[in-house]
Structure 1
């Protein structure tokens, strides 16, 4: 089918496409310069899964995400029996040495870094089925640990607990 004949005669779309191509070239050039100079920290983070790339040290996690990380086990992919072929978050296939997290409620598994990134966005449910990470029997323990980690009890002391009773 193709484009109508009159489309190629328009000057504005050609100019716009050339301008966008030029901007893309500048972005790639600047990215190369920053990488060459060792200034990778000033670049946008890549959203693809790279198991060889270490996790950034300067990232900040919410307290609830840190507590969930403590409760969810990390195992090697090779230790699993009858696992899926790929991670549902990044769509990369699992390899024998990959660290994975298995969710306790729904039993879905993901790369550790993929699920950790999901939790960093304050998500507390499975990316596939939306089942909560924390099972009902662990919810009270999780809430107590979250309350203690928040430091609110230290600030208000026991008066907050007495007034709520």
Structure 2
């Protein structure tokens, strides 16, 4: 026994390879042309990082971050707190963000991801994330 010493590969004729390369080049030229004209919008490939959004950064800088253990005393007695984004319970050790208008609490990572997706309202009640006096000049 042993490994075979030959290769079962597909060999394409040279003219077919050249036609495929030409079609690929044409596709890229059309894609770039549509981007330049504005008929197509670029969407980054998932898994690759995109440049930071100035609106998201401004919102995250203005939202309060605290440990849930310091904020849960303000909540009504007996009310279990759940992050509406991930639906997991908020625990004393978690870092949370308290929204400006509605005072809803969310895991810091969850609401940050929500903001990075371009959302500027509360996931629960749709009120603006920041109070009127703190609104970003980028939106509203």
TM-score, length-scaled by structure 1:
0.49
The alpha-carbon deviation at position 60 of structure 1 amounts to 3.7
For the pair shown, the structure with the greater C-alpha radius of gyration is 2
Distance 1:72 1:138 in 2: 10
- Structure 2 residue 93 is the aligned partner of structure 1 residue 97: yes
Higher helix share: 1
Unaligned stretches of 5+ in structure 1?
1-43, 46-55, 148-165
| Matching of residue 68 in structure 1 with residue 59 in structure 2 | yes
In structure 2, the gaps of 5 or more residues are 1-45
Out of 118, 122, 133, which is 2:118 matched to?
122
Whole-angstrom CA distance in 1 between matches of 2:59 and 2:87: 23
2:133 equivalent among 137, 146, 150: 137
Number of positions where the alignment pairs a residue of Structure 1 with one of Structure 2: 89
SS of alignment partner, residue 55 of structure 2: helix
Q: Distance in 2 between matches of 1:85 and 1:135?
A: 22
The runs of at least 4 aligned residues of structure 1 exceeding 4 Å deviation read none
Cα distance in structure 2, aligned partners of 1:73 and 1:59: 25
Matched residue, 1:108: 104
Instruction: Give the whole-Å Cα distance in 2 for the aligned partners of 1:94 and 1:59.
Output: 29
| CA RMSD, 1 decimal | 2.3
> 1:89-113 deviations in whole A, cap 9, x for unaligned?
1111112110100001000000001
Give the secondary-structure state (helix, strand or coil) at the position aligned to 1:75. strand
State TM-score, norm by structure 2: 0.57
**Aligned mates of 2:92, 2:98 — CA distance in 1:** 15
The Cα of 1:59 is off from its aligned counterpart by 5.4
